[in-house]
Structure 1
């Protein structure tokens, strides 16, 4: 078992020791450390107290290191170097100030929002490598809290006091139908009149699937869901193939396959989503996340 280290022995005092050994003078060591000679002398004396042995001897007004001081200085150099490397590796493992950033996103944001923000990030930090992880709202929230991603573009979770949130834009759910469907010619769709229709939906955990459930709860009936899928692009293709109708956010309009229409729901069933950039509050000073935050704020007008 490693012997306990006296609380008088600190990294700061070891740094003072090294400065003194390298300069050989209290005043010059104090100047290098931007402190006073008295503080340097006090730190060296407290190291002796913590070690319970003599490190220096006086010759007139000069303070001279003993062989013991040199042994401690050699060890201190290795300790401080190792700790500096450990801090760097720890910060990199946490994503803080690293040369890469891991971004999480909903599938539906990859056609416009994510490319716009990644381009903006690259313009500000060309050397920063970007990794994209796709998933549902629930998946991204868990990955964010586990440290698997650094930031997430997703819908607002119900309660997340541990997250910093930067809203990007507000979206609305629409009724999705093939262009050959009678619904495609309507100005609005009354969801309450669709009880006999077949539907397809996203699996649980997506912000859009939560809106789907909420809309039909307001309509007062359980929809006949004939198939579920794990990504929104497959969902669009199911609608295109006539498997069933669904509800889609208006942000996917540019990515819709030819032959699929988005029709507004009547006001009673019209649900809105807020899409935002999220990151852990414990990372609020991370330089990469601060840059991403600035990009998000400046790019909002392009995301609507």
Structure 2
């Protein structure tokens, strides 16, 4: 590995700061922005990276006046550098935890339709108890968030999956079971009816999440199980756009009830209708199976969740 080779070649003097600089440039693709992220002048950052490249005998970055990209050697170095930085951060966090202080980083993933937990309120409580932890929040698709936990980018995530599916390769606890409701414009012919079936609404035009995502799969699977085909004319990645399209009369949607009910209560242009045989979803809390960090364990404690390894 290039990181080990560099340390051996340079008598072990490759330091964590050099690795942080390389990671920052790789992620920002810009030396100026990387320097700003690392709170250092650009000339110093550039000088340290150039020195590392001389020691390695390879170029880590291909540079031009407009672009900065990793070389193949840089991509190889980046993997090891991230592992070393993560190990160093974990060592500091573990040492602090041994004295009863929780420090380090907590990266939290969340789907946009999370309803089982009030995430801002949760983060507020967590910060009050553990002010020395740097919390990062990232939104995304459930499958992407699960993959990010497995590869170490995230520590914990709030997910939503179709009933019968479980997040693979991570520890989980079920937070809530929910069912979808039909969301229509207030003037729609179905607004105000007591309930509908999928067959009764199969001919409608739909607004939904992007095909192939877990959020979309919940409705797709329900229609497929009923032997029905529907027309999804509009795809969107955020609920705000979906509801705006609905209020314009461009389509209707099936959305998780626990999430959409509070929003619809404040929006007279939307109406909700129960669906007898509609989609169901399960909200999960997920975290890494491999030795959760002190910051992760502290979050589980705030949530009242005991990791399996701590259960007697």
Fold agreement, TM-score > 0.5? yes
CA distance in 2, matches of 1:112, 1:233: 19
Are the structure 2 counterparts of residues 271 and 225 from structure 1 closer, same or farther at C-alpha, using a change threshold of 3 Å? closer
Larger radius of gyration: 1
| Residue in structure 2 matching 1:118, options 123, 128, 143 | 123
Tell me the TM-score normalized by structure 1: 0.62
Query: In the alignment, what sits opposite 1:92?
Result: 89
CA distance in 1, matches of 2:225, 2:90: 45
Mapped pair 1:138 → 2:143: yes
Query: In the alignment, what sits opposite 2:291?
Result: 283
The number of residues matched between the two structures is 212
Mapped pair 1:223 → 2:230: yes
Considering only aligned residues, what root-mean-square deviation do their CA atoms show, in Å? 2.9
CA distance in 1, matches of 2:263, 2:153: 28
Partner-residue secondary structure (3-state), 1:283: coil
CA distance in 2, matches of 1:176, 1:259: 10
Conservation of the 8 A alpha-carbon contact between 2:222 and 2:279: yes
Query: In the alignment, what sits opposite 1:149?
Result: 154
Tell me the TM-score normalized by structure 2: 0.61
Deviating 4+ runs (over 4 angstroms):
86-89, 93-98
Query: In the alignment, what sits opposite 2:252?
Result: 245
Are the structure 2 counterparts of residues 95 and 199 from structure 1 closer, same or farther at C-alpha, using a change threshold of 3 Å? farther
Per-residue CA shift, 1:18-46, capped at 9, x if unaligned?
xxxxxxxxxxxxxxxxxxxxxxxxxxxxx
Conservation of the 8 A alpha-carbon contact between 1:192 and 1:220: no
CA distance in 2, matches of 1:277, 1:147: 16
Conservation of the 8 A alpha-carbon contact between 2:116 and 2:283: no
CA distance in 1, matches of 2:92, 2:238: 28
Q: Which has the higher helix share?
A: 1
For structure 2, the residue ranges without an aligned partner over 5 or more in a row are 6-82, 95-102, 306-312
CA distance in 2, matches of 1:95, 1:109: 32
Query: In the alignment, what sits opposite 1:108?
Result: 113
Are the structure 2 counterparts of residues 144 and 205 from structure 1 closer, same or farther at C-alpha, using a change threshold of 3 Å? farther
CA distance in 1, matches of 2:114, 2:284: 11
Query: In the alignment, what sits opposite 1:201?
Result: 208
Partner-residue secondary structure (3-state), 2:249: coil
| Residue in structure 2 matching 1:262, options 258, 272, 277 | 272
Task: Tell me by how many angstroms 1:143 deviates.
Answer: 1.6
CA distance in 2, matches of 1:203, 1:93: 37
Mapped pair 1:185 → 2:182: no
Partner-residue secondary structure (3-state), 2:175: strand
Task: Tell me by how many angstroms 1:185 deviates.
Answer: 0.6
Per-residue CA shift, 1:261-290, capped at 9, x if unaligned?
221101xx2332111210110033x21111
Are the structure 2 counterparts of residues 290 and 112 from structure 1 closer, same or farther at C-alpha, using a change threshold of 3 Å? closer
CA distance in 1, matches of 2:190, 2:91: 50
CA distance in 2, matches of 1:204, 1:140: 17
Conservation of the 8 A alpha-carbon contact between 1:165 and 1:279: yes
Mapped pair 1:213 → 2:220: yes
For structure 1, the residue ranges without an aligned partner over 5 or more in a row are 3-85, 299-304
